[in-house]
């Protein structure tokens, strides 16, 4: 009989999951939760006094940049950023180089992900090379476990092709996720089209570039019956349409990114490309709408759209810099500090709701019960800290929150029973 | 206005408070006439003569000197009233970079200065730096045959090898004093911050 | 003032100040030897990432009349062609000891970025479709010279306002000084959210031209013809151009201005440019005075040295 591995007890925390909340200790051994109850003990003690103990978070939208842009982020460095932010699982976006559009690249990503501190799931591209012309071999990728397909970075422009993709995907039991952006309206745009773009002389992307595609894909969802997931919704119109579609019983889900409920387009006034992101930062009314959507359930999940870029590329002129900002290490704090929602709801938006969309609810997202895999996050909802770009785990530095004071901080993260972050320190 | 005065008077701060009057309005008038005569005498008439007043303190004196030369000229048909110009030397000063320095009033040089006898006119001669700047500025308008300097008050403390050709009054002063000259008279006083 | 990145850096008072200082430099330019030693020992770098003839020459002449040393930088012969980043280029030039950088770039915001990266004073000489503040200053100066004042005047801006940095800076400056501005353009050439600008918008060129003091024509950017903004140039000049017929109906004394270069016969009829009320060449001449004023204001005090 092999010797039992040492046990870890998370002591003194408030356990929050989809079944409610309770003041209990959690014991973890051999990768699984082996005890939940008052006054438990274990070989190692992780203090959770004053903290919330929840399922590890799941990010539906992470750019890990590998293969192709390893100077900005690697699967390993991005995973460290994830666990620092309380995430035990991330879904890697396919806009790498080469893109994740066939089994070979999926295997490479999964192989690298196996060595990473968090669980790395690969998404797959819907079309070959994300060009929006020809369907990618979704079935061979689905066989390797890919559950979410997207051309993220761009939307599928052809309604006909999107219809075919949805029909094909529904047969495979996988989910299509759409980056909603009508290219012919967004072309030449680098920020939200409105008062600020007009004043700054930067080409604008109208809200309608996003909303038209949301509208179209809701219609296609009705036509095909296939579920569709909307990525990083940023406008009031998009969220209203998704809300109405759900009320009408259509199988649509949606995510929103932290920057879309915390920053407005005014942030671009200094021409700092750190604030350039796609979809762009919107005016306050849209920011409020995103918050409302997260609050009333129109939007299912907070997804970071963590998009690392090298300092060099972000120092280019605004209209030449690539879009995207870091998100993994600040998502929880922003959700706690800015949304004014009950903690259980915030945890749901970050864990069990995205886990269900990603199709990984068996291993991630809770509930916290004996026999479940020990993917856990322990965070202090009151601790304040200041974002210092230089101390982030991500290789990149393009956080728009540098210097900002945050409330709520991850203390421990356990992935597969291992405390990869303990007392805010990364353990390899 | 001379170097030190420019530094202390608004917009550089301080209010001039007169202590003693050293020349009256009548003194000024007499000195002006005397210097006008000296200029005509020295230049053997007023042909090719150009009077240039330095902005802003020297302009009134230049106007009066030119007018006086004109009146002398009226009594002698070989002479005539010389053209009178103004010059702001801000862009030629040697202390650009050390303090905010902007031109105060327009520059107007009515004739080309090639071959002319130019009389620079200022109210108070002090360090000589304003005059140096004026000499430099004049180069932009041509090559005068001769340049002469006429001041109402020479208060000493020169920092450059410059001497006046026509002086209303030599007035020994302390460095920290200030001299204010106008048509109404010349006062010595201090600048109160 | 350390930099001139936008007309906002000046405000009404600043614009007036530059204009009155420009008067002195106009006098300097009229001297037999039009040069003063004011900026002796200062180095002004022309950092032009976008082609320009008149603006670059104008700044060079201005700097040279102030006795500054001028370093030129043209993209065709620089390491930018070899892939050097903007920041590295700025650092290199900064290391050579530039006191001022005059920056033109096709991207909005580059002068603001450059200002963050170096100690030199930065003058925006046109950034993308954002601003061109010295153009606005010389336009104000020209209007003041001709009409005495900008306040209370009705200025009609005609043409591609959406893509015009000249219009953005001009509108800011004119309205700051109290002018009323009306934009006339097809809707495809109006900026988004134009209702948030302090201007009126009209589609009726003929009515507006009957009641204005200045008509300011903008260049139709022929290079944007691919964007389907206009059906054709012929249609544009017939409906939105300043034709001879329209110019004849302008109130007496109304100025016809244009920042150049002019597409003769597109936005303005060639004959109109030769009228005594057309100020195109005057604007160029005033550009030198105004740019001398700007360079002098930015460089005449070493801010790092204590004031005596």
Nearest to B103 among C24, C31, C35 (CB): C24
Q: Does residue A85 carry a pLDDT above 80?
A: yes
Percent of chain B, pLDDT > 70? 89
Q: Answer yes or no: are the C-beta atoms of B191 and B16 closer than 8 Å.
A: yes
Segment A6-38, tens digit of pLDDT: 899 999 999 999 999 999 999 999 999 999 999
Q: Do C108 and C157 share a domain, yes or no? A: no
Q: Do C117 and C17 share a domain, yes or no? A: yes
Q: Do A284 and A393 share a domain, yes or no? A: no
pLDDT band at B18; cut points 50, 70, 90: confident
Residue A287, SS3 per DSSP: helix
pLDDT band at B134; cut points 50, 70, 90: very high
Q: Do A40 and A64 share a domain, yes or no? A: no
Q: Does residue C17 carry a pLDDT above 50?
A: yes
CATH of the domain at C154: 3.40.50.1370
Task: List, by residue number, the catalytic residues of A.
Answer: 305
pLDDT the model gives residue B129: 95
Q: Does residue B108 carry a pLDDT above 50?
A: yes
Mean pLDDT taken over chain A: 96
Q: Do C138 and C275 share a domain, yes or no? A: yes
Nearest to A315 among C86, C105, C129 (CB): C86
Mean pLDDT taken over chain C: 91
Q: Does residue A2 carry a pLDDT above 60?
A: no
Domain interval for residue C96: 7-131+285-299
C127 CB within 8 Å of a chain A CB: yes
Percent of chain A, pLDDT > 70? 99
Q: Does residue B86 carry a pLDDT above 50?
A: yes
Segment A264-289, tens digit of pLDDT: 999 999 999 999 999 999 999 999 99
Q: What share of chain B is helix, strand, coil (3-state, %, to 5)?
A: 30, 30, 40
Report residue A157 as tokens: 């422009």
Segment C183-207, tens digit of pLDDT: 999 999 999 999 999 999 998 898 8
Domain limits, chain B = 3-176
Q: Do C212 and C248 share a domain, yes or no? A: yes
pLDDT the model gives residue B1: 43
Domain interval for residue A349: 56-358
Q: Looking at per-residue confidence, does C59 or B98 come out higher?
A: C59
Q: Do C68 and C141 share a domain, yes or no? A: no
pLDDT the model gives residue C306: 47
Asked if residue C305 belongs to a domain, the reply is no
pLDDT the model gives residue C264: 86
pLDDT the model gives residue A319: 95
C228 CB within 8 Å of a chain A CB: no
Asked if A204 lies within 8 A of C192 by C-beta distance, the reply is yes
Mutate to test the interface with C, among A184, A187, A197, A199 (most CBs of C within 10 A): A199
- What DSSP string runs through chain C? ---B-SGGGTHHHHHHHHHHHHHHHHHHHHSSS----TTTT-EEEEEESS--SHHHHHHHHHHHHTT-EEEEEEGGGSGGGGT--HHHHHHHHHHT--SEEEEEESSTTHHHHHHHH-SSEEEEEEETTTB-HHHHHHHHHHHHHHHS-STT-EEEEES--TT-HHHHHHHHHHHHTT-EEEEE--GGGSPTTGGGSSSEEES-HHHHHTT-SEEEE----GGGGGG---S-HHHHHHHHSB-HHHHHTSPTT-EEE--S---BTTTB-HHHHTSTTB-HHHHHHHHHHHHHHHHHHHHSB-TTSPP-
Q: Do A230 and A123 share a domain, yes or no? A: yes
The count of domains in chain C is: 2
Segment B57-75, tens digit of pLDDT: 999 999 999 999 988 876 6
The CATH class, in words, for B3-176 is alpha beta
Mutate to test the interface with B, among C32, C39, C298 (most CBs of B within 10 A): C32
Chain C residues with beta carbon closer than 8 angstroms to that of B91: 24, 28, 36-38, 66, 296
pLDDT band at B2; cut points 50, 70, 90: very low
Burial class, A97, CB count within 10 angstroms (exposed 0-12 / middle 13-18 / buried 19+): exposed
The count of domains in chain A is: 2
Pairing of strands A14-17, A20-23: antiparallel
pLDDT the model gives residue C255: 96
Segment A202-233, tens digit of pLDDT: 999 999 999 999 999 999 999 999 999 999 99
pLDDT the model gives residue C52: 85
Percent of chain A, pLDDT > 90? 97
Q: Do A384 and A259 share a domain, yes or no? A: no
Q: Do C106 and C95 share a domain, yes or no? A: yes
C27 CB within 8 Å of a chain B CB: yes
Q: Do A268 and A395 share a domain, yes or no? A: no
Q: Do A177 and A235 share a domain, yes or no? A: yes
What mean pLDDT do residues A416-427 have?
93
Name the closest residue on chain A to residue C127, using Cα atoms. Answer: A201
Q: Do C33 and C115 share a domain, yes or no? A: yes
Q: Do A89 and A235 share a domain, yes or no? A: yes
What mean pLDDT do residues A246-271 have?
97
Lowest model confidence (mean pLDDT) among A122-126, A360-364, B100-104: B100-104
A316 CB within 8 Å of a chain C CB: yes
CATH of the domain at A31: 2.30.40.10
Q: Do A150 and A194 share a domain, yes or no? A: yes
Asked if residue A245 belongs to a domain, the reply is yes
Closest CA to A205 of A279, A259, A264, A284: A279
pLDDT the model gives residue C304: 53
Percent of chain C, pLDDT > 90? 76
Chain C residues with beta carbon closer than 8 angstroms to that of A195: 193, 196
Q: Do A64 and A162 share a domain, yes or no? A: yes
Gap from C118 CA to chain B (nearest CA, Å) = 20
- Chains in contact with A, where contact means 3 or more Cβ–Cβ distances below 8 Å, are C
- ipTM score here? 0.92
């Amino acid at each position: 009989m092999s010797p039992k591995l040492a046990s870890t007890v998370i002591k003194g925390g408030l356990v929050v999951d989809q079944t409610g909340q309770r003041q209990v200790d959690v014991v973890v051994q051999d990768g699984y939760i082996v005890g939940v109850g008052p006054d438990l003990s274990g070989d190692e003690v992780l203090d959770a006094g004053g903290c919330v103990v929840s399922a590890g978070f799941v990010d539906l939208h992470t750019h890990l940049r590998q293969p192709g842009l390893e100077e900005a982020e690697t699967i390993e460095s991005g995973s460290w950023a994830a666990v620092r932010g309380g995430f035990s699982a991330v879904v890697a976006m396919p806009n790498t180089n080469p893109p994740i559009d066939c089994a070979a690249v999926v295997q490479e990503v999964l192989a690298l992900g196996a060595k990473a501190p968090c669980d790395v799931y690969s998404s797959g591209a819907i079309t070959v090379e994300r060009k929006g012309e020809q369907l990618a071999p979704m079935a061979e990728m689905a066989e390797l476990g890919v559950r979410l397909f997207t051309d993220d970075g761009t939307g599928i422009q052809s309604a006909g092709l999107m219809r075919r993709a949805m029909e094909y995907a529904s047969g495979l039991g996988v989910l299509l996720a759409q980056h909603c952006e009508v290219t012919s309206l967004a072309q030449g745009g680098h920020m939200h089209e409105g008062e600020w773009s007009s004043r700054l002389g930067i080409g604008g992307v109208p809200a309608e570039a996003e909303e038209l595609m949301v509208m179209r894909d809701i219609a296609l969802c009705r036509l095909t019956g296939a579920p569709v997931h909307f990525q990083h919704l940023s406008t009031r119109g998009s969220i209203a349409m998704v809300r109405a579609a759900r009320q009408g019983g259509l199988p649509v889900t949606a995510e929103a990114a932290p920057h879309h409920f915390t920053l407005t387009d005014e942030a671009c006034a200094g021409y700092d490309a750190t604030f350039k992101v796609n979809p762009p930062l919107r005016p306050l009314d849209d920011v409020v709408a995103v918050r409302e959507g997260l609050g009333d359930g129109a939007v299912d999940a907070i997804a970071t759209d963590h998009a690392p870029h090298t300092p060099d590329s972000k120092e280019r002129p605004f209209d030449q810099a690539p879009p995207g900002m870091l998100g993994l290490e600040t998502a929880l704090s922003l959700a706690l500090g800015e949304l004014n929602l009950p903690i259980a709801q915030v945890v749901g938006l970050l864990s069990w709701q995205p886990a269900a969309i990603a199709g990984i609810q068996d291993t991630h997202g809770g509930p916290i019960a004996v026999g479940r895999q020990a993917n856990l996050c322990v965070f202090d909802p009151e601790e304040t800290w200041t974002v210092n770009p230089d101390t982030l785990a991500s290789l990149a530095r393009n956080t728009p929150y540098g210097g900002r004071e945050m409330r709520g901080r991850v203390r421990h993260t356990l992935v597969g029973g291992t405390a990869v972050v303990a007392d805010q320190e990364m353990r390899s | 206005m001379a170097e030190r005065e420019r530094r202390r008077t608004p917009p550089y701060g301080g209010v001039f408070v007169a202590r003693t009057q050293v020349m009256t309005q009548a003194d000024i008038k007499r000195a002006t006439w005397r210097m006008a005569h000296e200029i005509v005498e020295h230049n053997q008439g007023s042909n090719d003569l150009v009077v240039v007043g330095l902005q802003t303190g020297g302009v009134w004196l230049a106007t009066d000197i030119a007018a006086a030369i004109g009146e002398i000229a009226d009594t002698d048909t070989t002479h005539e009233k010389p053209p009178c110009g103004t010059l702001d030397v801000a862009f030629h000063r040697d202390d650009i970079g050390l303090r905010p320095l902007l031109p105060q009033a327009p520059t107007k040089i009515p004739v080309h200065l090639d071959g002319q006898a130019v009389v620079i006119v200022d109210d108070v001669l002090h360090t000589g730096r304003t005059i140096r700047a004026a000499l430099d500025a004049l180069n932009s308008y041509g090559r005068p045959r001769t340049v002469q300097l006429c001041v109402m008050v020479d208060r000493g403390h020169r920092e450059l090898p410059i001497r006046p050709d026509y002086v209303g009054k030599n007035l020994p002063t302390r460095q920290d004093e200030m001299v204010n000259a106008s048509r109404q008279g010349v006062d010595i006083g201090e600048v109160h911050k | 003032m350390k930099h001139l990145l936008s007309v906002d850096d000046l405000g009404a008072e600043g614009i007036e100040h530059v204009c009155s200082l420009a008067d002195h430099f106009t006098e300097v330019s009229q001297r037999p030897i039009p040069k003063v030693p004011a900026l002796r020992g200062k180095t002004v770098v022309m950092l032009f990432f976008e082609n320009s003839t008149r603006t670059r020459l104008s700044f060079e002449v201005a700097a040279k009349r102030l006795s500054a040393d001028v370093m030129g930088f043209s993209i065709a012969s620089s390491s930018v062609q070899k892939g050097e980043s903007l920041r590295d280029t700025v650092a290199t030039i900064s290391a050579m000891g530039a006191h001022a950088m005059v920056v033109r770039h096709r991207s909005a915001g580059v002068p603001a970025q450059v200002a963050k990266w170096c100690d030199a004073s930065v003058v925006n000489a046109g950034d993308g479709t954002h601003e061109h503040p010295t153009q606005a200053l010389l336009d104000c100066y020209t209007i003041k010279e001709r009409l005495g004042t900008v306040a209370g005047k009705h200025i009609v801006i005609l043409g591609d306002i959406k893509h015009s940095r000249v219009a953005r800076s001009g509108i800011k400056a004119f309205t700051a000084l109290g002018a009323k501005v009306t934009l006339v353009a097809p809707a495809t050439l109006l900026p988004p959210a134009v209702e948030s600008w302090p201007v009126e918008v009209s589609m009726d060129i003929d009515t507006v031209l009957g009641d204005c003091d200045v008509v300011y024509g903008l260049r139709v950017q022929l290079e944007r013809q691919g964007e389907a903004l206009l059906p054709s140039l012929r249609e544009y000049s017939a409906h939105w151009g300043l034709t001879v017929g329209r110019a004849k109906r302008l109130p007496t004394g109304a100025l016809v201005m244009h920042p150049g270069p002019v597409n003769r016969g597109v936005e303005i009829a060639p004959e109109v440019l030769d009228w005594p009320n057309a100020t195109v060449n005057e604007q160029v001449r005033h550009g030198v005075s105004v740019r001398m004023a700007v360079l002098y204001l930015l460089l005449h005090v070493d801010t790092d040295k204590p004031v005596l």
